[in-house]
Amino acid sequence: MKKPTTRVVKLDDPGTRAQYDFRGGVRGKHHTAMQSGYTITIHQADGTTIVKEIIPKRGAVVLDPDIQSYFPDSGSVNRTLRCLIPLLPRKHRVHTKKAAASA
């Protein structure tokens, strides 16, 4: 029977303590739940507690980190998407009615 071996993993961040082991971690595990909103509880030194409800704005879209480097702001995302819309097949396009301008 083999003896179990322990492996020491050198972490890139020098500020991370040795007792933290992220080998069994799963990236993005709570991502979907966070999209629907979450609560932050802050316990202050004076004994008071602050509870903040964080709910993403309606229509908010979260970009993955590798995509964010290409789009510094929402304007650049919108310009790119507008260029891609004509490339979509006609049957997949969704047309919205524009409100008539009132005079």
Number of H helices, E strands in the chain: 3, 2
pLDDT tens figures, 44-101 = 999 999 999 888 777 788 788 888 889 888 899 999 999 999 998 877 666 665 555 5
| Global model pTM greater than 0.75 | no
Q: What b/e string do you get for 62-97 counting C-beta neighbours within 10 Å, with b at 16 or more?
A: eeeeeeeeeeeeeeebeeeeeeeeeeeeeeeeeeee
Determine the Cα–Cα distance for residues 23 and 32; give it in Å rounded to an integer.
22
Cβ neighbours of residue 26 closer than 8 Å, sequence gap 6 or more:
none
